[in-house]
Structure 1
Amino acid sequence: MSDHAKKQSPATVSAQALGWVDEATKSVTPPLYPSTTFERNTDLSYHDGRCYTRADNPTYDQACAVLNELEGGSETRLFASGMAAAVAVLHALNPGDHVVAPKVMYWALRSFMLDSGVRAGLSFDFVDNADIADWDNHIVAGKTKLVWLETPANPDWQITDIAAVAKLAKAAGAFVVVDNTVATPLLTRPIDFGADIVMHSATKYLNGHSDVLAGSLTTAKDSEFWQRVCKQHASGGAVLGVFETWLLLRGMRTLSIRVERASANAMAIAKHFENHPEIEQVQYPGLESHVGHDIAKKQMSGGFGGMLSLRVKGGEKRAVDFHNQCKLFKRATSLGGVESLIEHRSSVEGPTSPVPADLLRLSVGIEDCDDLVNDLETALRLSK
């Protein structure tokens, strides 16, 4: 093997976007193909098999190839949002199918499962993210068709042992889907631990600039179930626009340095506030005090991500006052952008939310860490 044939690191894959160069112009920046339709050949075949953009567009090729390489998958499909990607998986199930999912997960998807999913004839059990025995008790051979994981789990950042749950699911004949939005393929590759499909809200870290709504699914290998997902993708219409795809690929080219910086900042903030007299608890898997730290070390490499939560002494009022006093941390939903965000999560999710009222969710960006710590310390002082 020549030196140039050696497998490239994820940092190089993302920065170079696999090194593709446009053959027509030799441009190192990928072109956009806005056309919604493609001309047939005289024998009624389609050039490169492309018929209509809802099913396929050449603008998708490079972004999908980069995600495939980063996740170690065989095929990737892009969707109009992370929710659209997740819903496509659920729509590929049959009425009567059983799904096991974590109690702590992306709230909008859990709500969809309990509303539209139930009305579509699916049944759901929700289990303790970190309790393998709980997963084992609810994954039933001949009944469970899909096991959905999210790790680290939003917003308390519990860790699920992907390999252990995947082993249980495979023994029962169920497919395993992992929401890898928070960890990103730079820190965790779920397929390496037995996942069948990896989902991303690509709006978050993959794009990284809070200006694109996007989602993705990457499969470990082709299967009948994956083909049903692909049919949902092509016929359902929730596909990503070509300009959004171009922006997503541009964002992925800085994925490595953004994730590295955000992870380092989050770790520093977590350590700073771990024993702070005004903080009840810091929830971050990079801390040795975190209950899932050992598993996180096993399945996360290069850092523990840019997400953490603070439980503030003084209850809900103090937490809200604290979050209102922040200046650098913007009071906004979402995560994974270059700017730092803070959110009082229980008020967003509503009265049925399991999130403690004193919890604040932080998406740590790439700013100077000392400035971020000072912003939080000042907000704590002013909220007394």
Structure 2
Amino acid sequence: MRIVHRSPAVIAAACLVMFSPVISEAAHASSTALPSVVATARGAHCELKAAGSCRGIALRGQDLRNAQLSRIDLRGADLRGANLIGANLSGALLANAKLRGAKLSSANLSAASLQGADLSKADLHLADLRAANLHGAILASTNLSRANLGMPRRTPLLRMRMDAPAGCSATGGVVDCAGADLSGADLQDANLANANLASTNLTSANLTGANLSGANLAGANASGSNLTNAVLIGANVATTNLTNAILTGQDGMVLPASPVNFAACDKNSCGQAPNAGQMSTSWSPPSVNLSSPPVTEFVVICRNVSKPDQSAGPAGLATSFVFQGLQSLNNYSCYAYAVNAVGTGQSSPTSVGQAT
């Protein structure tokens, strides 16, 4: 059924949907979208028999701006592309609702139940999501910029919920998005302090200016994300994938520590390479710092002690490197350093070795 109207609809606790414009004869002939249509002199309205329940109702693309939907039962409803800007959905039951592409900016969704709802590509800019339950909701490419997720700065982390791989839970004002798909989401200036984002997909997400202090990002994939001016003080990023992420002005993530146990070998130590002009070097990874993103590369530099030549060895993530083509029996002073998404870390103490 196609409904054309100009003013916002109002759905009350008994699920009465009022539409002021006239519904066409074709719409009267097909009542699959809404249970019943009653014509009046002023226009038409759709009334559901089950008091308080609009389960499965079809309102795709409807204009419901500023609608009063507090505590309504819209479980499984089709609201794809609906205009719900400024709507009051506080305490509403929206489990498994289809909200893909819906306009929910400035909507009140406080204490709403959104378990399993499809919010992909929905606009939740400035929406109130305090105490909302987003467990299992699909948030791919969802715009949550400046949304109020109700996260106090000192709230402890929840346990990881690996049984919710596609959504988040905001129950009790604490956000748990462990394993969630937030790829491409607009989270600019979002308050995600102390949030659990372990194993979350944040690829290409906009986290500009976001507060991620104390957040758990262990195992998260933030490749290609924009973290310009983001606050990450105390955040766990030790195993976070930040490949091609933009980190300009970020506060909190640190450079890697220097490799430890670095050694350049000579013919009498550490398995020296057998061929002339070769020299082996080895080291151990730096100690783990939760505020330091994972190492992406080790680099070894060796300088001839008596001649002005230098060799560099990009070793990738290996913890050893064999130099080739050095001056046979010449001594070389060497050191190594680690690189991560933030930049180049401090170099190790030097070690002198001799080429074969």
TM-score category of the 2 structures, normalised to the smaller one: under 0.3
Normalization by structure 1: what TM-score? 0.18
What is the TM-score normalised by the length of structure 2?
0.19
Q: Relative contact order: is structure 1 or structure 2 higher (C-alpha 8 Å, sep ≥ 6)?
A: 1
**Which structure features the higher share of helix residues?**
1
